[in-house]
Amino acid sequence: MADPPPSDEKAELVDHVVAFKGYFKVGRYFFRHTLYQGGQSPVISREVFERGHAAGVLPYDPLRDEVVLIRQFRAGSYVAGRHPWSWEMVAGILEEGESPEDLVRREAVEEAGLEVGDLIPIHTLMVSPGAMSESCALFLGRVDASAAGGVFGLESEGENILVKVVPFFEARAMLDRGEIENAAAVVALQWLALHRDEVRSRWRQAGCA
């Protein structure tokens, strides 16, 4: 369990308005917070990009030692001047009442045509806490990658998603070459690099591989 936050770090919401609402929403928040040197800050204003909370899964076949990556067009990468197609893990935004585990199983079918077995929680991270309210729960998911591949996604949502099976050693090399820029995928692959032997042993002992 995480340690509780320091008792002298406190923030107060003074006001909130919706600055923009379209496909996504931007809120304008007004805060006061405690200062490390003592006292309280003046009221500060921050715009926050809001689209809910997310979850993602890195599909991994422990028997074949392969991961399944997806690739799709990303508007943010284009605007940033980066190559707009990105290697990623399966992910999506939580619907009301949906658990992160249910979400990643649903998205694995929609985005990659994969049925996910066992799930191992990796970490829940804040995507960009200086400007976004979004958190993302990351998982490693056991899959059979032997028949994975193809093009998936919901046409109604403008998705056109390439699915590729990658040997773990090659995925690690892609990281080293800077070919994977998606933050969640980087975190999940680095986690797998640290825990791969443990995961394979665990799933073998459970009769999963």
Q: Are 24 and 50 in contact (CB under 8 A)?
A: yes
Dihedral of alpha carbons 70, 72, 77, 82, sign: positive
Phi, psi of 132 (to 5 degrees): -130, 150
Instruction: Note if 9 is an active site residue.
Output: no
Q: Are 102 and 20 in contact (CB under 8 A)?
A: no
Residue found under tokens 């799933």: 203
3-state secondary structure of 189: helix
Reported residue count of the chain is 209
Q: How far is CA 11 from the centre of its chain?
A: 27
Catalytic site residue from 96, 157, 179, 198: 157
Alpha-carbon distance 166 to 200, whole Å? 17
Dihedral of alpha carbons 44, 45, 47, 53, sign: positive
Residue found under tokens 């073998």: 204
The DSSP-derived string for 66-115 is EEEEEEEE-HHHHHTTS-SEEEE-EEEEPPTT--HHHHHHHHHHHHH---
- Residues tagged active-site: 157
